[in-house]
Each structure stands twice: as structure tokens, then as C-alpha cells.
């Protein structure tokens, strides 16, 4: 499930309220963006059960936080507050619990106004690029960048910029 979420061609935004522990955190890590309430907490407590995170936690958490902070969480089972999660880049935004869904929805709406083709290419470049050596990731980025030049969305985006108006993208 986590791999399927991560590979979706549209952004998936997690809205996290409360405790995201173990599989819950791993599910959130599979999402492209994460918005948390100020009362959220994050942990991978499997070490306390004689286990390790088994749904991508050792890999995705390390890629999000870096080895040091991820290993500390994984090896101690310690929880991280939403403010710490924001500081380390685990979440994109922290809001009051009453604002969580409207903030996540607002972020989704902001992204939905942009070119679907560009969004898809960005997700592919970042997600697939992480699996590649840098030179191959850069090649993928160049190929995706070049493929967008002939699209109607690219022409519309350029025209809107020059005409100082908001673009209307159609995904073509």
C-alpha cells in the first residue's frame, strides 16, 4: 500500500492529528506532503517490541530526516512532537487541530490549480530520482523537463506569465 501511494501520479497529502506511530507513521511517510496538527506525535516504536519498522519506516524516515535523526527515532522508539517534525522536515506544516483539514485542503487546492502534467513530472523526477545515482537522476529530470515543452500547458503557462494573468491549465 505504501509503495502504491508513493508512486501515484497525483500528490497525496496526509493530514495527521494525534499519534502517528509505527505503521501509521509509515503510511504518512508514503504520502508526498504532510500537514500535522500541533497535537500530533510521531514514532516508530517497533524496537520496543523486538522488531524493526516493517512498512518502509527504516527507508522513508531516513530519506526524510537523514540518518542521524532517523536512527535515533528508530533505535530508541522515542516520539517526536509536531514542532520537532516540522524542524526536521518530517512534516510540511503544523497547524492547530481545528485548522488541520482546511489547511490540507487548501494545500491540495493550491496544487490543483497548476499543470497536471508538471505535477506528474515533478513527482516522477523526485520519487524515481531518489532511487537513482545523481547523474541518472539529472538525466531523468532533463528528459521530463524537455518532454513538457511541447505541451499546451507549457504554452499556456508561458503566455499567462507574459500577459501577467493566472494560467488555466488543462493537462494537455
- As annotated, the active-site residues are 26, 46
Long-range contacts for 68-76 (Cβ within 8 Å, ≥24 apart)? 73/42, 73/43, 73/44, 74/44, 74/47, 75/47, 76/47
Is residue 153 within 8 Å of residue 171, measured between CB atoms? yes
Amino acid at each position: 500500500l505504501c509503495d502504491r501511494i508513493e508512486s501515484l501520479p497525483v500528490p497525496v497529502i496526509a493530514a495527521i492529528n494525534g499519534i502517528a506511530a509505527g505503521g501509521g507513521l509509515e503510511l504518512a511517510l508514503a504520502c508526498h506532503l504532510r500537514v500535522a496538527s500541533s497535537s500530533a506525535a510521531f514514532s516508530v516504536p517497533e524496537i520496543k517490541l523486538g522488531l524493526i519498522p516493517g512498512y518502509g519506516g527504516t527507508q522513508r524516515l531516513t530519506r526524510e530526516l537523514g540518518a542521524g535523526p532517523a536512527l535515533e527515532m528508530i533505535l530508541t522508539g522515542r516520539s517526536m512532537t509536531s514542532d520537532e517534525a516540522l524542524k526536521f522536515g518530517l512534516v510540511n506544516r503544523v497547524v492547530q487541530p481545528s485548522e488541520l483539514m482546511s489547511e490540507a485542503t487548501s494545500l491540495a487546492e493550491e496544487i490543483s490549480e497548476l499543470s497536471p502534467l508538471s505535477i506528474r513530472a515533478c513527482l516522477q523526477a523526485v520519487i524515481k530520482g531518489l532511487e537513482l545515482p545523481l547523474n541518472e537522476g539529472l538525466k531523468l529530470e532533463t528528459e521530463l523537463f524537455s518532454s513538457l515543452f511541447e505541451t499546451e500547458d507549457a504554452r499556456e503557462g508561458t503566455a499567462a506569465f507574459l500577459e501577467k494573468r493566472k494560467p488555466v491549465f488543462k493537462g494537455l
